[in-house]
Amino acid sequence: MVGLAGQKIIVVGGSSGIGLGVAKASLESGAEVVIVGRSPDKLRAAEQSLDAGPQVRSVVADMTEEADLARLFSEAGAFDHLVSTAGTPPPGDPIERTDMAMVRRFVDNKLIGAVMLAKHAVTSLRRGGSMTFTSGINKDRPPVPGGAVVSAIAGSFSFFARALALELAPTRVNIVSPGWVDTPMWDEIVGAAKSDFFAGMAGRLPAGRIAAPADIAPAYLYLMSSAFTTGETIHIDGGHGLI
């Protein structure tokens, strides 16, 4: 395992939820962290909560904008690991009511955004470093009805990583596929119904509870540190894939 102390890690989506958990765990491992998101307010609040002085800084960038990504990687300079947890709530309408504009926005943000991140990261990512992207349990246990689009997009990440891992070797490319994690995204998706949703799922999960971001962060740290893991998808879902 390669230690993360002294390494520079860029976390796109690091201002909230799973990404903020990865940023915190990376800082605790002695890394220097750059958190990235679109909202300056969210980034400021995240930097404050991380309370890590000069070891953490933030860059405002939208990963759907090539100019933002070119600026991000030129400002960040040479670095060791790219993590992306960036994403927005998925479309969830039954197929016959699909809002195509929403699907296009989702694909543009989640999938094309990841492709664009890889394109722009590669010139300043240290050879032999890593890229880790995020898919999710929806690819294995899609909501019915309404889960087809998110399942297709999340599922595509594993194949993206396998092909890119070959192309960029010895730089490693991997995927984390989380189960349900208590993050602000759920407040956006289900609002006040969140606690009922979570109680219902917790009762069915082998782990017996919904994850916190701190439960998921070790999967990203493992993939950054494990010099022999590439093209892989790690499922960290409390057993959700079994039920």
Ligand X SMILES: NC(=O)c1ccc[n+]([C@@H]2O[C@H](COP(=O)([O-])OP(=O)(O)OC[C@H]3O[C@@H](n4cnc5c(N)ncnc54)[C@H](OP(=O)(O)O)[C@@H]3O)[C@@H](O)[C@H]2O)c1
What residues make contact with ligand X under the rule CB under 6 A?
12-13, 15-19, 36-39, 42, 62-64, 85-88, 109, 113, 134, 136-137, 178, 180-181, 183-185
CA gap 47, 58 in Å, rounded? 7
Number of C-beta neighbours around residue 141 at 10 A: 17
CB 127 → ligand X: shortest distance, Å? 25
- Nearest to ligand X of 129, 238 (CB atom): 238
CB 15 → ligand X: shortest distance, Å? 4
- Nearest to ligand X of 170, 239 (CB atom): 239
- Nearest to ligand X of 38, 209 (CB atom): 38
Name beta bridge partners: 12: 36, 84
- Nearest to ligand X of 91, 136 (CB atom): 136
- Nearest to ligand X of 183, 230 (CB atom): 183
CB 240 → ligand X: shortest distance, Å? 9
- Nearest to ligand X of 4, 137 (CB atom): 137
Number of C-beta neighbours around residue 242 at 10 A: 10
